[in-house]
Amino acid sequence: MTGLKMFLGFILLLTVGCRSCPPPKIEDGKYIFPKRQISFDVPPSPPWFQSKELPDRFNPKSQAWICTLGVFSDIIFVNDARNGAIAAEVQKTWQDIGIIPPQKTEAVIREELAKNNGARSAPFVSDYDFKITVPYVCETPLPILHETFTIKSQGTTYRCEIRTYIYTIDKDDTCFLRFFLWSAPATYAQNKAALDDLVKTLQRTPPAPSAQKAEAAVQ
């Protein structure tokens, strides 16, 4: 009977936790992502506005290369006056980084960087540099990787950044949160300041009520 109860609880966790989790939303100037238990303030509008996808002008085009920078973003903001864009994406990793030592965390990040080395050597990418910060992985989103580079797209040069944060949810799952920045060189300081202001508001949110009920059912 106990086994049946656990099985039914597991099924409930899958159906209720997945189907009933509220979708991401913007509320009172905050972007809230219940499934990944994260929120941050959105850039002020105007001059920033939400875009369904990254404008083509930020996407380098080449016959031999496909640029996927920002393609999988969960939310994108564009500033036409300053020719800049900010995007964010959050993904749960298959590796349980939350329980390994910091030295191993750095090794995992370097392995991922090595796998994606080809993208960084694309003809439209230059001045690539990175810095790894290996924090103690916990429930608080902490910076783990900062990448800077330049891309040339459709005759225009953009200065870019990728800031990666790491944190745990649901006790032992690990998430990567990435912020992307594209900016014309002349307005880089202003667009970078907008991203700086955004990441200062980054915070965890409690699990969605449906997920809490599902976990209780399993117990």
pLDDT at 15 over 60: no
Tens of pLDDT, residues 62-101: 777 777 788 889 999 999 999 999 999 999 876 666 667 7
Residue 49: inside a domain: yes
DSSP letter for 22, please: P
pTM of the model: 0.83
For residue 83, tell me if it sits in a domain: yes
Determine the pLDDT at residue 172.
Answer: 75
* Residue 138 pLDDT exceeds 60: yes
Quick check: is 70 in a domain?
Answer: yes
CATH code at position 58: 3.40.1000.10
Q: Which residues of 9-39 are buried (b: 16+ CB within 10 A; e: fewer)?
A: beebbeebbeeebeebeeeeeebbbbbbbbb
Residue 216 lies in a domain: no
Q: Which domain range does residue 62 map to?
A: 23-206
Question: Is residue 7's pLDDT more than 70?
Answer: no
Residue 62 has a pLDDT of: 72
Per-residue pLDDT at 95: 66
Average pLDDT over every residue of 15-34: 79
88 in a domain, yes or no? yes
Domain membership flag for residue 5 = no
Q: What is the mean pLDDT of the chain?
A: 82
pLDDT at position 67 is: 78
Asked whether the beta carbons of 32 and 26 are under 8 A apart, the reply is yes
pLDDT per residue over 157-193, tens digit each? 999 999 999 998 887 788 999 999 999 999 999 999 9
The residue with tokens 């990944």 is: 36
pLDDT in tens, 35-60: 999 999 999 999 999 999 999 999 88
- Structurally, the chain folds into a number of domains equal to 1
Listed range (10-24, 51-65, 69-83, 114-128) with the worst mean pLDDT: 10-24
With beta carbons less than 8 A apart as the criterion, state whether 84 and 160 touch: no
219 in any annotated domain: no
The pLDDT value given to residue 12: 33
Q: Is the pLDDT of residue 1 over 60?
A: no
173 SS3 class: strand
Any domain includes 182: yes
